[in-house]
Chain A
Amino acid sequence: MKHFFQEALNRTRSFFRKAPLDQELNVEMATHVEMAVEENMRRGMSVEEARRQALVQFGGVQQARERHRESRGLPWLDVLMQDLRFAFRTLRRDSSFTIIAVVILALGIGANIAVFSVVNTILLRPLPFRDAQQLVRIVEKDAKSGESGRTYTADATQDFQQQNRSFQSVSGYFAFTGPNNFKLSGSSQPLPATGMLVAEGFFETLGVQPAIGRLFRREEFVHHAQPAALLSYPFWKRRFGGDPSVVGRTVDLSDKVDLNNKSVTVVGVLPDTFDFGSVFSPGAKVDLFVPYIMDDFREDGNDLALVGRLKAGVSIAQAQNEADLLFPQFYFEHKHPDYGKGYTGQLTGLKEYVSGKLRRSLIVLWCAVGLILLIVCVNLSNLLLARAAARSKEFAMRSALGARLGRIVRQLLTESLVLAGVGAVLGLGIGWSILAYLAHQGSLALPLLSTVRIDGAALAWTLLIAVGAAVLFGPAPALRMSAGNLQEALKDSGHGTSQGREHDRLRSTLVITEIALACVLLVGAGLLLRSFLRVLDVDLGFEPSRAAAVSVDYDDGGNVARQAAIWQQVVQRASTIPGIEAAGISDNLPMSRNRSWGIAAKGEQKPKEGDFIGVFVYIVSPGYLKAMGMRLLQGRDISWDDLVNNRNVVVLNDTVARKLWPGQNPIGRMAIAGGAVSEVIGVIADVRESSAEDSAGAQMYLPATKQFGPEGSYLVVRSRLPPAALAMSVMQTLRDINPGQSASEFKPIQALVDHATSPRRFFVLLVGVFAGLGLLLASLGIYGVISYSVTRQTQEIGIRIALGATEGRVLLDVIGKTLQLALIGIAVGIGASLAATRLIASLLFQTAPTDPLTFAGMLVLLGAVALLAGYLPARRASKIDPLVALRTN
């Protein structure tokens, strides 16, 4: 075996030392001949005869040199270099063809790289944690749409932590963290920060190690512990300039809920690779982490989202069996066994939980981009065929000079590999730019997107598709050549009329394929677009367009009356700002975080557990419903009077009202909401809670009273002006009221809706772009074929015009041919689309996969573009001057 490596090494070395080695060989061979001459002369030959004999014995000198090179170097590489040099030369000579081919390839390959990288990041690559396959997300089985249905109380969490035998560790995070829930006071203006409360062992469970400092210690999770915080890497860079000495320092951090200014010790910085938002809450950014102290939350209901790490060798199914036995036994609260017990636990691999819902969309995207690549290949085949026709004499000449078909095919393949290679390099650039753009779309609610990059797998994929494409489109001219006739081609034949019917058919078939593929893409994109428009058309139950929200800071010292007074002051002063039509405060906004409580009708008997329905809860001020543009169907809004008198009132949405009192007037009835008896004073139209696509859930709106404090507060204003124009004056007003108001973002409500619809917009945009690209390529293909056939038939058309055919007649003929191709392509495309769209049915929203309007629209578009592509050469044909056409050959 050893000599193989030695030989390979030596051969490679010789490959780069051609000149000195040849020189040595020349000396050696010269000596050889001299010796032979001498010996021959010793035998009595004359000088001439001796030399002649010596050369005869030696054989061909050039031949010996060739064989020497073959045995010592890398002959295949020599041939390859030759082919490459030749390919570059030919391609440079035909620069317009080369540029078109490379650009088409770069677009196709670039799109493929970008989509592959997204698919790889979200679907294929494991999560960025150690042994990520062991990580499991635990939620309630019949998870209602709200987060409350997916979370557990502190007591239930601890019971599960103690009793399970399947997990190495179970931890979780506080699921109801809103953006900018903390205020970090520093040297100058206080700045908002988003802090995540995490339970003990959260980072250890995920396997995340701090970049600097340490993780939380056990004693930091007990009641009245010394407050500690971990910083996220980007926040550390942004806020502290990446200063390592911040670890161990204390910072002033105030919680917007209880508003105690606390000195918090920064114990560490998390690594750059850990992005909480991208895994657990797509589109959100988390700045810092603080301990979730169980003792502080025992009576707060379900609020922990659980994550566990399975023990090695334990399957999810085994752990599920155990969970099915354990969870029903857990009480909501140990202190109040009367609140009941009975949880469920659905275990899902964290990866599946994070990206499972996106699988189908991503696969569709992948297929769409694959179709693009196919169209690119078909298009290039077509271009190469046209070029082969022009080069037929060159090929014929080479094969007459002794080149075998295999050698010529290899040369052609080298050419297409060079094209594909250059296209792939440019494509990498395009893909990279697309990904750089996507990775910084923070508002895009897709998981893991911030970690998207071109990695080894993507490079391998690039290589694969580039070579695949070259092999697909490359040999087309060779196919034609092998069928061609050498003599025919060598003769200086002009553009005959009967020549190459076969060839024509091949090109027509390619164009039909292109049209059919583009048709599938267009119909798919059309259906998705229509779904997207339907989603945008959904009645959200509120008017996002002219409303904006800003987080309000205030200090009420925990006094409800004072808080009511502050709210009233804020709302009333905001209402007087010129341009503002309505203002109100809520602790939660639609389509952001949410929580749910139980509500039941108060009857003669005490309602049982099953009588309660889960509803989303909003603690709101008067005016909020109006500011959001929610529609009051019956009754009235909450009034300042209710707050001042601490009256327990509630506004329900239509769904709840109809569920609790079907067919009756709900106004004035009493409900048990969140544990307190409240009077129903109003009913509003349903509001789309989590997204425009899910049906509206159950909701209730309560004033802030002794029983329920708000969890933060957002001032919502409605105006005739664009939100940005109001930002200054609103912030000024808030700062007048409270100088400690942090510089929060003034956020249009529309942004919340856009965030919720962003995945769909993302897919529609990409598929739409691909469909457009497909259409462009298909029209190029049509143009190429028709244009070529016109050029080829110049003489024939000239004769016809000379014999009296009118311009219109010629025009119609050519267009007729185009139409024929387009119609066949569209017919095939419709068939393929009907099969393909069934596969995307689940991605559509209120749109049938056979939606006739979409089909008709896209087919008309495709037909029109095809006609346009055919019209240009047709016009040229009709303008042919018979005299010129007949004279030139």
Chain B
Amino acid sequence: MGKSKLDLLQGTLDMMVLQTLTSMGPLHGYGIARRIEQVSQKEVLLNQGTIYASLVRLQQRGWIAAKWGISDKNRKARFYSITRAGQKQLEQDTAYWERLAGVMGRVLAMQSEGDEP
């Protein structure tokens, strides 16, 4: 992979947002973006602005809820929190992701065995 950053697969950003909100509780957009950057240790290519497209999508599907509030520095900010439906979706997505990752791992391992008989 070298030094270039990972392009996010379709839908993975949504999952990251859901997981972040599950572990951190209600957060504003900047907080979510920063948190994802920290956890990924700058390995993913993330324009912070794109987080808002993901947030509005999740909100419209009823997986997260949004509420205007006041941040630590007395700024007007929007706080997002995961809903029950969002938690359920996250569980499903996680299970699916793990299965897929497992299968991919096995398939790729098989190929490298075939290369060196």
Contact = CB atoms under 8 A, between A and B. Distances in A.
18 contacts: A7-B57, A7-B60, A25-B52, A31-B28, A31-B71, A32-B29, A34-B75, A35-B71, A35-B73, A58-B47, A59-B49, A60-B47, A64-B49, A64-B53, A71-B53, A71-B57, A72-B56, A72-B60
A136 B61 CA distance: 57
Nearest to A61: B49
B96 interface: no
A63 B51 CA distance: 12
B54 interface: yes
B35 interface: no
B97 interface: no
Given A28-B77, A35-B75, 10 more contacts: A2-B62, A3-B62, A7-B60, A7-B61, A10-B61, A14-B60, A24-B78, A31-B30, A60-B47, A72-B60
B90 to A, nearest CB: 13
Interface in B18-54: 28-30, 33-34, 47-50, 52-54
A58 B29 CA distance: 11
Q: Which of B30, B33, B49, B56 has the most CB of A within 10 A?
A: B49
Contacts of B48: 32, 36, 57-59
B60 A6 contact: yes
A22 to B, nearest CB: 11
B21 to A, nearest CB: 16
A220 interface: no
A3 B28 contact: no
SS class, residues of chain A in contact with chain B: helix
A1 to B, nearest CB: 12
A11 interface: yes
B95 to A, nearest CB: 17
Interface residues of A, number: 31
Contacts of A14: 60
Contacts of A35: 28, 30, 71, 73, 75, 77
Nearest to B37: A57
Interface in B41-98: 47-50, 52-54, 56-57, 59-63, 71, 73, 75-78, 85, 89
Contacts of A25: 52
Given A3-B85, A58-B48, A60-B47, A31 B60 contact: no
Given A3-B61, A7-B61, A70 B53 contact: yes
A36 B30 contact: yes
Contacts of A72: 53, 56-57, 60
Contacts of A92: none
A6 to B, nearest CB: 5
A631 B49 CA distance: 100
Nearest to A62: B49
Interface string A18-39: 0000001101110110111011
B30 A3 contact: no
Interface of A: 2-3, 6-7, 10-11, 14, 24-25, 27-29, 31-32, 34-36, 38-39, 57-61, 63-64, 67-68, 70-72
A182 to B, nearest CB: 71
Nearest to A9: B60
A29 B52 contact: yes
Nearest to A4: B61
B61 to A, nearest CB: 4
Between A39, A63, A67, A70, the greatest number of chain B beta carbons within 10 A of the residue's beta carbon is seen for A67
B103 to A, nearest CB: 26
A31 B77 contact: yes
Most buried by B among A10, A35, A38, A63: A35
A149 B73 CA distance: 102
Contacts of A34: 75
B85 A28 contact: no
A70 B53 CA distance: 8
B56 A68 contact: yes
A14 B53 CA distance: 13
**CB-CB nearest 7 A-B residue pairs:** A59-B47, A64-B49, A10-B60, A67-B53, A3-B61, A71-B53, A59-B49
Nearest to B62: A6
Contact of A71 (B28, B33, B56, B71): B56
A27 B69 CA distance: 12
Contacts of B34: 39
Given A6-B61, A36-B30, A72-B56, A60 B49 contact: yes
Contacts of B78: 24, 28, 31
B60 A58 contact: no
Contacts of B53: 64, 67-68, 70-72
B29 A28 contact: yes
A378 B47 CA distance: 52
Contact of A63 (B28, B49, B76, B77): B49
Contacts of A63: 47, 49
A60 B53 CA distance: 13
Which of B54, B57, B85 is the most central at the interface, judged by chain A CB atoms within 10 Å of its CB?
B57
B104 to A, nearest CB: 27
Contacts of A64: 47, 49-50, 52-53
Which residue among B28, B30, B59, B78 has the maximum number of chain A CB atoms within 10 Å of its CB? B30
A45 B28 CA distance: 23
**Most chain B CB inside 10 Å of its own CB: which residue of A32, A70, A72:** A32
Contacts of B61: 3, 6-7, 10
Interface centre among B33, B48, B50 (most CB of A within 10 A): B48
A11 B49 contact: no
Contacts of B47: 57-60, 63-64
